[in-house]
Amino acid sequence: MNRIYFIIIALLCMIYIVNDIRKKRFSIKESFWWVMATLVILFLAIFPYSINWIAKQIGVEYPPSLLFVFCILFLIFINFKNSKRINENQMKIIELSQQLALLKEEAKKIHKK
């Protein structure tokens, strides 16, 4: 019965993500990794003992810890991508501010003439 709850949660997450994409609040490019994570949750909900098999293949003693490691790595990856994007946007903002200042200065010179 617990598997049904996790399947429902995964499907609700997928519906939420797709709905945000449809309403243009979330780009397809940005949502790719969240869709993949939702598919992994759905897979693990349908086949809950697959994490045990993966842990055994890797040599992890306690399978739930492997799941936590995967979740932490996923969140670190998302955080890194977002930090990179924030840095790129900050650089663009600085460049645009400099261009605006130059245009304002030129406008002042033209207006004085």
Question: Residue 28 pLDDT more than 90?
Answer: no
Is 66 within 8 Å of 51 (Cβ atoms)?
yes
Domain boundaries, the chain: 1-48, 64-113
Q: What percent of the chain has pLDDT over 90?
A: 71
pLDDT band at 1 (very low <50, low <70, confident <90, very high): low
Ranges 15-24, 26-35, 80-89, most confident:
80-89
What's the distance, Cα to Cα, between the start and end of the chain in Å?
80
C-alpha span between 98 and 21 (Å, rounded)? 34
Question: Residue 100 pLDDT more than 90?
Answer: yes
By CB atoms closer than 10 A (0-12, 13-18, 19+), residue 29 is exposed
User: What pLDDT score does 31 carry?
Assistant: 87
Question: Residue 9 pLDDT more than 70?
Answer: yes
What does the pLDDT average to over 23-52? 89
